[in-house]
Amino acid sequence: MGVALAVDIKNVVPVPVNRKFVIQSVQTNSDNDFVEYFRKVPNERFLYTFRVVKPATSFTISITLSTVKSKRIMYKIDKLNGCQFLKNQMMNKFLSQIYRALVVNNTLFECPIRANVYFLRNLINPKIMPHFHPLGYYQLSIRIEMPENRKPLIMEILSKYFVLAIK
């Protein structure tokens, strides 16, 4: 299958020829306790950074992909054990594809996550979206939580994007 460029004023990404993938927004959030900040790197199109200030010994990952208009859930992972996933990424093939697409310079995480500054790329990556992704307007939520934290949410990514047909 060939590749075309989906052209938007702010976003240019390769997608299958019959689809146009347009990122509307990406929001990041952190608890400012375990994760001091989580934000886009200035002057970088698809590079994000976060600073872990306390070691994370355990965490869960929740992912929800839903349609924006009807709120219909298309895909959901609820409270996957993050440390188990890091030890064996093949326990969830879809999530392992997302993980490999996000890591920068082959930096692999392991538990406990040490205090440090980390980078992630392209929080919404059309290369990992299936070619049969339905057309429409979607919201993707990725939440990282720690049960021992007084505020369970430590990091969150909330993205909205369109999948359009190219005629």
Give domain status of residue 6, yes or no: no
Boundaries of domain holding 130? 22-165
Alpha carbons 37 and 52: distance in angstroms, whole number: 8
Does the global pTM surpass 0.85? no
Give domain status of residue 10, yes or no: no
Give domain status of residue 13, yes or no: no
Give domain status of residue 14, yes or no: no
Average pLDDT over residues 145-154: 81
**71-94, pLDDT tens digit by residue?**
999 989 999 999 999 999 887 777
Please say whether the beta carbons of 41 and 47 come within 8 A. Answer: yes
Q: What is the CATH number of the domain that holds 124?
A: 2.60.40
pLDDT confidence of residue 7: 35
Give domain status of residue 155, yes or no: yes
